[in-house]
Structure 1
């Protein structure tokens, strides 16, 4: 009996050491994502300035470094990825949101699962990106876009609602293919249709007011000509 509990003691100590190492890395991950989020907040109050996007993008190198450190820790505990996954899950949801959102701001396209892994320097055979973490990150992007649309219209970008409506419609249609059994993810997906509805309401309002990208009413321009 004593021998068995000595083994338990060693296993618990080893696990505690792993968790402490992960805690330190995840704390750094939190710090980087907070700064990156603060940088990206600026896009709500200006056009998609290359300087703002470049500043936010500059943090990706540090994210890759930190995920490399996480991978190194988990490499020492083969087969234990999901035992410790909760330590970095929430942070990874945020990281996926940030880099997918940043990519959309730059290109108007969705960053794929494989591209997201590549951006973070992840090796799926050793330490990959959990699919549900990626999907929750996409739901976070969806939640952010209605606010972005409202603020862009406020500063005169009347084409923005149409672009976002098309993107969210495609994303929502793609999600409908999935048979989601994760309750939290299912709830986040259910919220996506309300995000789309908010954007469509803004788009409808822009159309009713007959505004173009210059901020002028279309009828007024036609009369002037």
Structure 2
């Protein structure tokens, strides 16, 4: 008798750590032994506690605002991992007058690696990087399989503001046109608030449901 074995696909593990005054979502991703950190907020110990004995291969930033970058230097000191950010947002990491809000700022002194549009592989995780300017000039979407980590570009029921330094409403309009063309089955993991799906946002989000 021939045994039939079903091969089950193991889904990437996604851990969410909301932190700080704006409840910014830091994400820890793990797949086949590769661990990535997206948008480490200003509470490095919370991230370290969640990692336990896992060592991240890299830190990836969806953009350069203070609430998404505060723990970068401490994590690099611990793990000596690379930090990826779009070159257009490098200035935000270094200039506290541009990345802050309500008197809160951050500064990244770690040397970064350019995060460019296209496909890249870190360990066992393949990422598709999509430029999504508007909220900041170097905002990106990070697509991994059916999961999209969208920073402050799209939220449940809303989109990122463009009235902060270096924000650009015209660029955001173009970005939202691009978002409307993506696979509606994508799961969206925003920089703040609950996860959602692109299909839901295309139906319910007024900034995506209508043409701005």
Q: Give the helix-richer structure, 1 or 2.
A: 1
Q: Does the alignment reach a TM-score above 0.5? A: no
TM score, norm. by length of structure 1: 0.29
Q: Give the strand-richer structure, 1 or 2.
A: 2
TM score, norm. by length of structure 2: 0.30
Larger Rg: 1
Structure with bigger RCO (C-alpha 8 Å, 6+ apart): 1
